[in-house]
Amino acid sequence: MHISDQDFETAIEEALGLLPERFHRALANIGIAMDDEPNERELAAMEDPCGELLGLYEGIPLPQRTNSYGGVMPDIITIFKGPHERICATHEELVTQIRKTVMHEIGHYFGFDDDYLHAHGY
């Protein structure tokens, strides 16, 4: 399944729009980007090296930020287009998976680990 870059970005924005307002208010010092494919450094962060890396959160999770937190580069969530296209057969499936990936990576920002997120469907 292939999708234009603009449609992929729109799906990411729509996923962010589904976040409850209280979670939007808690997002600070974080950027969300898309990229075509993960690089070798990003792939090294994968738990399962045989799978596809759909997204990646890099930064200091909110619960680990102390009073001394400041003057640091923004956290970044990257959503990867190519892997999404490869694992999805329909446009609907692709949009649903993008939403799931965005929520999963935002979950990391809020301090949840992969086990917790997978157990809750993300």
pLDDT per position as a tens digit, 28-72: 889 999 999 999 999 988 876 668 999 999 999 988 888 888 888
Sorted by where each starts, the structural domains of the chain and their CATH numbers stand as 1-18+54-61+73-122 (3.30.2010.20)
Residue 11 has pLDDT above 90, yes or no: yes
Which residue type, as a one-letter code, is found at position 90?
Answer: T
Range 17-35 average pLDDT: 92
pLDDT at 50 (0 to 100): 65
Tokens for 1, please give them: 């399944």
Q: Answer yes or no: are the C-beta atoms of 55 and 38 closer than 8 Å.
A: no
Please tell me the pTM assigned to this model: 0.91
39: left (phi over 0), alpha (psi -120 to 50) or beta: beta
